[in-house]
Chain A
Amino acid sequence: MELIKIRDLHVNIDNKEILKGFDLNINRGEVHAIMGPNGTGKSTLASALVGKPDYEVTKGEVIFKGKDLLEMEIEERALEGLFLAFQYPVEIPGVSMINFMKTVVDARREYRKEEPISPVDFLKLVKRSSELVGISDKMKGRAVNEGFSGGEKKKNEIFQMAMLQPDLAILDELDSGLDIDSLKQVAEAINKLRNENNAFLIITHYQRLLDYIVPDFVHIMNDGKIVKSGDKDLAKELESKGYDDIMGLN
């Protein structure tokens, strides 16, 4: 079943066109990977989808769960089930992780007209999610991302994803900053969370992550749009040949 449909998406930053007609369909249960050289607009796509201010959509449409995504506020998109694991998570001093998660979980439940989560259920959920991702209690007690190492920040993103169970999760360069054991653990967590009702869009530069989370589709992006799509073997091919060759530039 179709989860998101992106049609001819054009996005400007500072009046400069970065996305130049991006198309993609993702169905529930699918895992898509996007690869592409630095600066081609992968993070821009992610930011535009979650509604980052200053990302001006000049053309195109995005239908998410049958609704016009581009019409929604940032938080509405999140509450509808869109989740972005940021390439560079923001540090928020003074706001504790636990307080933050409780507030977010309740905001979601309120959106679905549910009662606030009971403290016991909340703690269970926290325990389950943190064990799944492998983050320490110490981290949970600290302020959001404050003073976290690069890898800890990435783990924290996936911890939040596990807590929130989104329909569509976009993972922007999850693998950068994670050591090999953490990468394995986080990938396993994602595989466990994967089911026929949700979908993942994985932005990465390396085959390595895709060895653990096997994608159904691989897309190569260049200069603001998808230039080539294929199955998981496309990523392998890319690893051995490089972008120029794959994109037919040589």
Chain B
Amino acid sequence: MEEVKNKVIDELSNKDYEFGFTTDIEMELAPKGLNEDIVRFISEKKGEPQWMLDYRLKAYRHWLTLKMPKWGHLDIPKIDYQDLSYFAAPKNMPKYESLDEVDPELLDTFNKLGIPLEEQKRLTGIAVDAVFDSVSVKTTFQETLKELDIIFCSMSDAIKDHPDLVKKYIGSVVPYTDNYFASLNAAVFSDGSFCYIPKGARCPVELSTYFRINTAGTGQFERTLIIADEGAYVSYLEGCTAPQRDENQLHAAVVEIIAEKDAEVKYSTVQNWYPGDKDGKGGIYNFVTKRAICKGNGSKVSWTQVETGSAITWKYPSTILKGDDTIAEFYSVAVTNNHQQADTGSKMIHLGKNSKSTIVSKGISLGKSQNTYRGMVKFGKNAHNSRNHSQCDSLLMGDKCGAHTFPYIKVENNTGIVEHEATTSKIADDQLNYLKQRGLGEEQAVSLLVNGYAKEVLKQLPMEFAAEATKLLSISMEGSVG
């Protein structure tokens, strides 16, 4: 039985990265290195107004005063920030008016990723903004959205076309002083998605962004801003892939979400950046700051993430429950394999009355990986009658990996209730034996149990994504199902 298990694990570990192709397109690259001139260069390339440049420079100067955070349960090799290029764009293609203008090879890339830009997504009802390295390529589905006055465009366009909205909200949830990576992002962010749902509008389609890092030696720093005005609703999906390269690539994104009174935002991520090969070579360093604010009373934010990629993940999608009667949720499945390291979790900061939050985190560690849940639940003095329930489970498969749980719970109000539960174990032998007694092979049984284990999270995903996520998860399980 041990043998079978080892075989399963071996196969899982050796499973190649499915999206590891590169695209040959002429790129315009900024010279390597980071200084004020580079920041100006990025801003100029993007034709930004002065206020944006000023913001970037302020952020850059602040970043210089900061040090890389060390508190994660991560072993991060030294990153030479001067050896990266901070801007890469397909040459001579700042913007596409119609799909015909798009470089066929680029289109092909997206097809390989399973994201046909127009037709197919119209069928599935997803509006896609595809970010290729640093520039947003094409936003589909514009017309449908226009009718509802929903703005869904690239961040660069938003800065030009909706400066007031951007000015009002950018940095309002994640200030450029927030942390090392957020600061860096504010200085050099390349592009990303911008989304504004006006009062009372329910966005009828799932909005979606695909991120892909293509060029070697570049960093990708997208910036996403989602605003749901009073009573608005939107569901937003984010997918990430990168080609297979031997050196590590840096990804430091910032996502800000603002939910005004009675608004609801659902944010789902399937993160599948290249995790490096089975010896730990290559892979993305994913240092992401994602934060939402339930600003108005009665607002709701829900994060769902399926994390299977990246060599190192450092990510804590968080919610500030500022309004009264607000709701925040965090559902996460994180799978680490080979030499991957993940330190991920959520923060729920309760400030408003009757605020409720839920955390469900499922970690699965294989190979020689380290998988850490780190979370914080805090009830402020005025968070009367608030509630939190957290459930953090870790599954270990193999005796070379680690699973760690670091919850921080702080309560300053005597009317709240916090409940936290966590378990760490391997797959239960009695469950395995039960399934085997019913005729399943070891591999099938393991696969079934792991899927069942993650189900609570997967079922939170929008339909279109759930299938994809299950498939991704089964990249880990595939080798085991005969």
The answer on direct contact between A and B (beta carbons under 8 Å) is no
